[in-house]
Amino acid sequence: MIDIHILPKKAQNELIDFYQFLLQRYTSGKTKKHTPKLTKSKKASSFFDQYSVDLTDFKFNRDELYER
């Protein structure tokens, strides 16, 4: 899970604005379901919940990157 609350307020607002932009871009012209209004932080949290990734076993190898 991504915790945007540790970011500065300006960065949080930028992420929320980008999320709203994507919503408008990909849902324009489609019927929208009536959903209760959420606060901006809840909207952002629900957006980032779908992208939570476990990176515990990830190892970055810079030399391998430059070989390509």
Report the chain's terminal Cα–Cα distance, integer Å. 31
In this prediction, residue 29 carries a pLDDT of 65
State if pTM tops 0.75.
no
In this prediction, residue 55 carries a pLDDT of 75
Closest among 27, 26, 19 to 2, alpha carbons compared: 19
Provide the pLDDT confidence category of residue 1 given band limits of 50, 70 and 90.
low
Tens-digit pLDDT profile for residues 7-38: 899 988 898 889 888 888 888 766 555 556 66
